Copies of this chain bind each other. A is one copy, B any other.
Amino acid sequence: MSSAAAKPILYGYFRSSCSWRVRIALALKGIAYDLVPVNLVKDGGQQFSAEFKAVNPMQQVPALKIDGITLSQSLAIIHYLEDTHPNPRLLPQDPKKRAQVRMIADHIASGIQPLQNLSVLKQMGEKKMEWAQHCITAGFQALEQILQHTAGRYCVGDEVSMADLCLVPQVANAERFKVDMGPYPTITRINKALLELEAFRVSHPSRQPDTPAELQA
């Protein structure tokens, strides 16, 4: 009866890299959820509907209804899942390693993704592709260097962390924008290792209920 006992509802879009981050976290932590697809391009963007604005005033996906509250912002959602479902953990116990995980996650979530999202690209007109490539390239150059100091099998050591949940969807964006991944062997290696894990595969944009038939894996 209580809202806390209800299945969480994820408002997301198959191709949204921020939605994918949350789908990976839900999969890793084994949390079952219902999906409400929000198509970011159809009807001028369903995220701008009055109906969705009532769910998330930020008019963005992902949003997660869980335990009687509605959260938005992918990393805030993932932190909440970490606080309430600590196993398996997505943040290392050591504060320095935890800081490195958050630094990499925020580098992607604040330093790369927002610069190449739909709203900015619209403003760039003809320079759209070039701008997206520029932002991702600048961000990946820094990230490749940082990973030299932090990476093991994954972004920070050998445990999957919040940083990895940001990395894989950002590499997928890079591929969509035809960024040359040659200069980033560490990013490429980690991305490949992560894509072998079940939680990254079931959450993949090519395998969602709202994935158009022609893009399905």
- Pick the interface stretch among A67-75, A197-205, A207-215: A67-75
Say whether, besides A83-B99, A102-B73, A102-B76, A111 and B142 are in contact (CB < 8 Å). no
- Is the Cβ of A76 less than 8 Å from the Cβ of B99? yes
- The secondary structure that dominates the A interface is helix
- Is the Cβ of A80 less than 8 Å from the Cβ of B98? yes
Q: Which residue of B lies closest to A99 (CB)?
A: B80
| Distance of A9 from chain B, by nearest CB (Å) | 16
Residue A59 at the chain B interface, CB threshold 8 Å = yes
Partner of A141 from the list B57, B75, B107, B127 (CB cut-off 8 Å) is B57
Residues of chain A touching chain B, judged by Cβ–Cβ distance below 8 Å, are 57-60, 67, 69, 71-77, 79-80, 83-84, 95-96, 98-100, 102-103, 105-107, 109-111, 113-115, 119-120, 123-124, 127, 131, 139, 141-142, 145-146
Contacts A71-B100, A73-B111, A80-B102 aside, 13 further interface pairs with beta carbons under 8 A come to A57-B142, A57-B145, A57-B146, A58-B139, A58-B142, A69-B96, A69-B100, A71-B103, A74-B106, A76-B105, A80-B99, A114-B115, A123-B127
